[in-house]
Structure 1
C-alpha cells in the first residue's frame, strides 16, 4: 500500500514530524513517500494520505492548503489524515483550563472535515529557536517583550507522533483494500 506524507514546514520542525510519521509507517510495511507540499502538483497514485503543516495564527501554511484544495477529490476518495504543529511549551492546559493542543487546531481542520473527510486529525507541539528565525519573523527576536514570551526549544513529543503513526498503520492494515 502506497502512502503519501505531504507537509508544509517553515523552519523544519513540521518536516521532522512528517519524516518521523513516514519512517514509522515504513517500518510497518507500507511504501511511503514523504514530500514537501510545495513540490507536489497532484496526488494520484497513492492509496492513503497524511497531510500536515506548521500552523501560524490558526492557519496552515499556504502550500499545504493549496495541496489539499487542489486534490480534494482524490483525498476524499482515499483514507486521509491531517496533522498540524505549532504550540510551544509543555503546558497541557491554558490559563482558562482548556486543552492547549485542542485550542491550537488550525481553521483548516474544520474546513477540510467536509472537503476531504479525514479519518483523523492531530495537533503536535512544535519547536522554536531564536537563532533560526528569518525574514519578517525576525521582529520576534528584535522585540525583547515578544522574544521573552516565546518558549525556546524543541517541544515535539515523539512518543505522541509514533503512537499516531501507529494508529494510522493499524487502520490501513485493517482496511479492506489492504487485505489484497
Structure 2
C-alpha cells in the first residue's frame, strides 16, 4: 500500500513530525514517501497513492498556505482515499491553559472544520511543535521581542515523539488491516 505524507513546515519542526510518521508507517511495511507541500506530487502522481497523511505548521491559527493549497487542489483525489490530518503548533510544556482548557483543542486551525466537511478525514491530531529562535526569520525574531511574546512563543522542542509514533502506528494498523 502506497502512502503519501505531505506537510508544510516553516522551520523544519513539522517536517520532522512528518518524517517520524513516515518512518513508523514504513516499519509496518507500507510504501511511504514524504513530500514538502511547497513541492507536492503532481496531480497524476497523487492518484497513485492509496492513503494520505497531510499536515502543517500552524501560525496565527491557520495552516500554512502550501498545505491548504495542496488539500484544496487535490480534494477530488483525497475524497477517494483515506486521509489523516495533523497540525503542529502549540509551544511550551503546558497542556492546559490558564482556564484549564486543553491547549490542543483550543489551537485547532481554522481550516480543519472546512477540511472535515469537504474531505471527511479519518482523523485530525494537533501536536506540540518546536522553535529554535536562532533559526527564525528576522520578522519572527522581532515578534518574539515584543513584551510578553517570548512567554507565548517559548523556545524549545515540545514535540511528544512517543505520542506522534503511537498515532502513526494507529494509522499503520488501520491501513494494514484494510490492505
134-143 or 21-30, larger mean C-alpha shift: 134-143
Unaligned runs of 5+ in 2: none
Question: When the two structures are superposed, what TM-score results if normalisation uses the length of structure 2?
Answer: 0.94
92-101 or 21-30, larger mean C-alpha shift: 92-101
1:25: which partner in 2? Answer: 25
- SS of the residue 1:109 aligns to: helix
Deviations 1:63-100 (A, max 9, x none): 00000000001111100000000101111211111111
Question: When the two structures are superposed, what TM-score results if normalisation uses the length of structure 1?
Answer: 0.94
Deviations 1:13-46 (A, max 9, x none): 0000000000000000000000101101422200
Unaligned runs of 5+ in 1: none
CA contact (8 A) 2:82 2:121 kept: yes
Across the two proteins, how many residue pairs are aligned to each other?
A: 176
- 1:45 correspondence with 2:48: yes
Q: 1:159 & 1:91 partners in 2: Cα distance?
A: 17
Q: 1:96 & 1:84 partners in 2: Cα distance?
A: 22
Task: List 4+ stretches of structure 1 deviating above 6 A.
Answer: none
Q: What is the correspondence of 1:74-153 to structure 2 with a 5 Å cutoff?
A: 74-143=77-146, 145-153=148-156
Q: 1:23 & 1:126 partners in 2: Cα distance?
A: 18
Deviations 1:106-143 (A, max 9, x none): 11111101111100100000001211111421222443
